[in-house]
Amino acid sequence: HLFNTTIRENIRIANKQASDEAIIASAQLAQVHDFIMSLPDGYDTYVGENGVALSGGERQRIALSRILLKDAPIWILDEMTANLDPLTANDVMNAVMQAAEGRTIILMTHHLAFLEKYQFDQIITL
């Protein structure tokens, strides 16, 4: 979910004390920094209610930036690459798996190829 505020504040919700550098680093990991910088107001761009001004993939990567900024021991990721093209999805998944070192990841996906590429302790198929 994105709120009717700036991209910066939508990401910062995860960590109110986060510096701009940390916000940018999380956006880079989520493969959305270059897109944000292409906008006239960059990180100060208002996204509208539910991120209406953005595409599904852009909303998804901004929300992922929020997760990456939060130093939580458990990440629950539901279809995190569903609205992304295959190349971007692969880049995002690689970045997330690197950032997830030492964390518990609960990943829900229809793309079993992602699961085969990475070392998961347990895979449950429904």
C-alpha to C-alpha distance for 88 and 95, rounded to whole angstroms? 11
Identify the pLDDT of residue 16.
Answer: 95
Identify the pLDDT of residue 101.
Answer: 86
Provide the residue range defining the domain that includes 113: 7-117
Identify the pLDDT of residue 4.
Answer: 93
Instruction: Classify residue 15: in a domain, yes or no.
Output: yes
Identify the pLDDT of residue 48.
Answer: 87
Amino acid at 5: T
C-alpha to C-alpha distance for 22 and 16, rounded to whole angstroms? 11
Instruction: Classify residue 27: in a domain, yes or no.
Output: yes
Which CATH number characterizes residue 60's domain?
3.40.50.300
Identify the pLDDT of residue 46.
Answer: 94
Question: How many structural domains comprise the chain?
Answer: 1
Instruction: Classify residue 125: in a domain, yes or no.
Output: no
Instruction: Classify residue 124: in a domain, yes or no.
Output: no
C-alpha to C-alpha distance for 69 and 49, rounded to whole angstroms? 22
Instruction: Classify residue 2: in a domain, yes or no.
Output: no
Q: What is the pLDDT tens value at each position of the chain, 126 positions in all?
A: 899 999 999 999 999 999 999 999 999 999 999 999 999 999 999 998 888 889 888 998 999 999 899 888 998 988 888 888 888 888 888 888 888 888 998 888 887 776 777 777 888 888
Residue with tokens 């990567």: 61
Length of the chain in residues, anyone? 126
Helices assigned H by DSSP within the chain:
7-12, 20-29, 33-38, 56-69, 86-99, 112-117
